[in-house]
Amino acid sequence: MKPFALCLLGFGNVNRSLVELLQQKEAELRERHGIQWRITGVASRRIGWRVNVAGFDVAELLRAQNSDAFARMRGEECKHYNAWLDAAQPDVVFEATSLNVETGQPAIDHIRAALEHGFHAITANKGPVVHAYDELRDLAARRGKQFLFESTVMDGIPIFSLFRNTLPAIEVRGFKGILNSTTNVILTGMEQGLSFDESLGQARQLGVAETDASHDIDGWDAAVKVAAVVNVIMGVRLPPQKVEREGIRGLTGEAVRSARNAGAPYKLVCRAQRTESGATARVRPEQIPLTDPMALVSGTSSIIQFETDIFPGITITEENPGLYATAYGMLADFIRAAGS
């Protein structure tokens, strides 16, 4: 039985759900995987850099909603990130901070520091994968640690580990898919008669859209996911700024409903294709015939279809993921790291 000290960088929905999953799976982790765990560090802009080497009380941790509540908990507060790492001495850092599309910072620096300290780094943040994947992968290898990120695309569905662990020596020649839940929910709502703004409001009520949903609507979230898959699975360096991008802002309810009635509904489609010099990629609204599995993907569901040198088509579909889907990807990465 190996005890693991865990640090949570960011304490919003993802890492809170991760803690709940760790609780729910505690017996299975112990009995099937030989894992015991305690949380020695929690940090966010709102609560500061909190440390309890003996381990925070998990129930108390989940009840805490503000900095005052954390201040009343046992432990200490550190001044900055490196001091927090030094004090908490985690085996694994779970990074779940906000995405910076342009640079991936400061998440890249956070993951780099965790690896340099000799800790496994697991992230739900796409920024480090698209802006610093090669560097962080190589650093993790030199340190004998893991840099894992299964939650960055399609929640906890094993996109990256499928090719890393299950399909060795496969060349991915291209892929297409629907990878953004917010735009999918909006388009589904518009097909049902809602206006764009009403559909966006519905997406916010479901918890899939932020207050400022421009990254989703304008295609940036999908473009970053495309870049992540191209960088990691296709092995081609492609920053998100190089993904040809058009969002759904220009689509009217009338156009969306007419397309559906004509049997070719609009979807925000992601595509990438290997070329002699690297890869090309784009994100844009397309009308998809009902004979294509992508046409049937609605609501918060997603789909990706890979073209490989051996298999002409491998399709993975995720249907309406629940609250714990993203957190599960981090949990699965934790089990992989623990066994390495």
Q: Which two tokens stand for residue 70?
A: 């954390």
Q: Give the list of residues 6+ apart from residue 17 with CB closer than 8 angstroms, or none.
A: 323, 324, 326, 327
Q: Quick one: 142 and 23 in the same domain? A: yes
> Quick check: 67 pLDDT over 90?
no
- Flag whether 45 is in a domain: yes
Please report the DSSP string for 217-262 in residue order: HTTHHHHHHHHHHHHHTS-----GGGSEE--STT--HHHHHHHHHT
- Flag whether 163 is in a domain: no
- Flag whether 150 is in a domain: yes
Instruction: Provide φ and ψ at 298, rounded to 5°.
Output: -135, 175
When pLDDT is cut at 50, 70 and 90, the band that residue 273 belongs to is: very high
Cβ–Cβ < 8 Å for 190, 199? yes
- Flag whether 164 is in a domain: no
What confidence score (pLDDT) does residue 184 get?
Answer: 93
CB burial string 139-154: b at 16+ within 10 A, e below: bbeebebbbbbbbbbb
> Quick check: 267 pLDDT over 90?
yes
- Residue 192's H or E segment, with its range, is none
Q: Quick one: 149 and 206 in the same domain? A: no
Instruction: Provide φ and ψ at 85, rounded to 5°.
Output: -60, -45
265: domain CATH number is: 3.30.360.10
Render pLDDT for 281-293 as a digit per residue (tens, 0 to 9): 999 999 999 999 9
Q: Quick one: 130 and 191 in the same domain? A: no
* Domains contained in the chain, number: 2
Percent of the chain with pLDDT over 70: 99
Q: What is the mean pLDDT of residues 207-232?
A: 93
Q: Quick one: 106 and 48 in the same domain? A: yes
Residue carrying the six token digits 């890249």: 108
Q: Quick one: 14 and 150 in the same domain? A: yes
Q: State the alpha helices, DSSP H only, in 89-147.
A: 107-116, 126-143
Q: Quick one: 209 and 67 in the same domain? A: no
Q: Quick one: 204 and 280 in the same domain? A: yes
Q: Quick one: 181 and 91 in the same domain? A: no
| Structural domain harbouring 79 | 2-155+324-338
Q: Cis peptide before 128, with omega less than 30 degrees from 0?
A: no
Q: Quick one: 150 and 14 in the same domain? A: yes
Q: Quick one: 265 and 224 in the same domain? A: yes
